Structure 1
């Protein structure tokens, strides 16, 4: 069986178990035919998943408990038992223990992809505060995976209607302006372009770049970053024959006519890009970490402590994250196949008497 035709193994980290992470995982896997599409590999414990399964009355789900990733069974819902402890679940509460187990799950799931036991990673939401420790000292999944997988991660929020990348990610607003440099803007445009070509098979993508200041600076009246930093980065991309345009005023850009024209948008900071993205595509939106060797996706929402344990969490974004991860994985294989050098040097067999020179 070829790499492309095999059943994809999806590593799933559980996130903060006091939030909605396990609920959206279980709701996604409740369909008895789901394992026809992929093999789920959840990193946590059978006890913990069974406890929440019972609470949510999702009796139709059957787990395959394993002790090691080399025991994964295709066509089953595998749970890698990372611990044997009985977990004290406190829905809606922020606890240090939940953060510690969230990190253990993430670490093991990410490593399973590196080791080749699984193919892609889908992460349930973490609490960025209680997960912090001596080992995990990152603003979020994106930065952590950039460290352990290697590469320059791009936080790429994607849906059918809209795709948004960010120059600056999880940093305070007070530090945003200093992070907007010609190098950073140029590099993020390149990352978006590369992802659209290799991950989304768009031959000639068109990218819009937003300004930093109100009204994109109003020709320097409201700030000079557009003139001195953003526009030069855009012009550099144009000299490379890339379809990159802007800078556009963020307050008026996100309308259907613009979104229909462009394949992706580069925003300067977190809320500038994520507020319109989540307004337009909240239920089906996916957070994709582009720019890394392996594929990682997640739902575009957080732990939602306020509804945890109530059985009302919407799992649509998590389901989209799983199927997008598989699609991107296959697209990457296709791209690699199409672009590899298939022309091999074949020495000519010369006839007797021909000059070899």
Structure 2
């Protein structure tokens, strides 16, 4: 299968572990796809020294360096943030032009996005701005998949954002994404409650009756196999046991806490709803171990494999 799919791999934040784990994962060849390294050759060369992998094994699509490098391992700067963002934008351009079949992004930071003049709280929102579509974050492991209604919001801002429209959008997006990208013809979707005990009939919160339940009812009327709102402490147990193909969680840590408990090293971030295929490892820049050679490529390897599988499935 080698050569049937081509993946653009971004360098991520140069001061972090992204390029290192990307090279390690590529060297292990798990995806059966060809790769294009996106980012300055200097960044890939530095990562290759740490990873013990020659980046010259893959073609490089360079991005402009903003100036002489002024960062070091674990020490990001404005210039390194600009490199990370430009690599994402270049990879998206390659995918939209049909020159690659998928994009796998190495981690960058939200602070870096803001410093580089991109006012987005994360990769997902940046990708939606670049590509259009209805971007939706799904984190997936072997036993549990999670789609988020809200993503990078302070907890105090979550309840007002859990609206009927937002929940229905997430349920529809999960249904469509699992059908198109994962090949699940009739996804079973468990929808989490926001409050303890699903609000206990309004005693512990009203969002379940006012917003979440009506969204689930509308989804079911559209033929979507959704159930909820289910108390989160019950729902994730049932989902991990195989009762659901995906959980729709109301906020970031509600969904990612259980997911990372099960799949800390092997989960993949899949962006549903985009016109391009995009995945990433489910971890950050890990500045504390950057440059040490200790970073594990397990999640990046899974991200490459998942991107190749989705690209092949979309191609039909």
Q: TM-score, normalised by structure 2?
A: 0.94
- Is the partner of 1:279 in helix, strand or coil? helix
Return the alpha-carbon distance in structure 2 between the equivalents of residues 129 and 285 of structure 1.
23
Q: Quote the residue 2:127 is aligned against.
A: 145
Q: Quote the residue 2:280 is aligned against.
A: 298
2:52 corresponds to 1:51: no
Return the alpha-carbon distance in structure 1 between the equivalents of residues 257 and 276 of structure 2.
27
Question: 2:77 pairs with 80, 86, 95, which one?
Answer: 95
- The structural deviation recorded for 1:203 is 1.4
Deviates more, 1:134-143 or 1:179-188: 134-143
Q: Which has the higher contact order (CA 8 A, sep 6+)?
A: 2
2:237 corresponds to 1:255: yes
Q: Quote the residue 2:8 is aligned against.
A: 11
Q: Quote the residue 1:128 is aligned against.
A: 110
Q: Quote the residue 1:221 is aligned against.
A: 203
2:264 corresponds to 1:288: no
Q: Is the 1:48–1:86 Cα contact (8 Å) retained in structure 2?
A: no
Q: Is the 1:96–1:131 Cα contact (8 Å) retained in structure 2?
A: no
Counting matched residue pairs gives: 315
Q: Is the 1:287–1:298 Cα contact (8 Å) retained in structure 2?
A: yes
Aligned-residue CA RMSD (Å): 2.0
**C-alpha distance after superposition, 1:292-340 (max 9, x if no partner):** 1111000001001111111111111001001101101111222xxxxxx
- The structural deviation recorded for 1:163 is 0.7
Q: Quote the residue 2:26 is aligned against.
A: 29
Q: Quote the residue 1:233 is aligned against.
A: 215
Pairs within 5 Å for 1:97-116: 97-116=79-98
Return the alpha-carbon distance in structure 2 between the equivalents of residues 308 and 134 of structure 1.
21
Q: Structure 2 stretches of 5 or more lacking a match?
A: none
Question: 2:101 pairs with 119, 127, 147, which one?
Answer: 119
Q: Structure 1 stretches of 5 or more lacking a match?
A: 64-75, 335-357
Return the alpha-carbon distance in structure 2 between the equivalents of residues 315 and 257 of structure 1.
27
2:80 corresponds to 1:83: no
- Is the partner of 1:110 in helix, strand or coil? helix
- Is the partner of 2:113 in helix, strand or coil? coil
Return the alpha-carbon distance in structure 1 between the equivalents of residues 221 and 285 of structure 2.
43
Q: Is the 2:144–2:240 Cα contact (8 Å) retained in structure 1?
A: no
- The structural deviation recorded for 1:135 is 4.3
Return the alpha-carbon distance in structure 1 between the equivalents of residues 90 and 275 of structure 2.
17
- The structural deviation recorded for 1:212 is 0.6
- The structural deviation recorded for 1:162 is 0.8
Larger radius of gyration: 1
Q: TM-score, normalised by structure 1?
A: 0.84
Return the alpha-carbon distance in structure 1 between the equivalents of residues 55 and 120 of structure 2.
35
Where does structure 1 differ by over 6 angstroms across 4 or more consecutive aligned residues? none
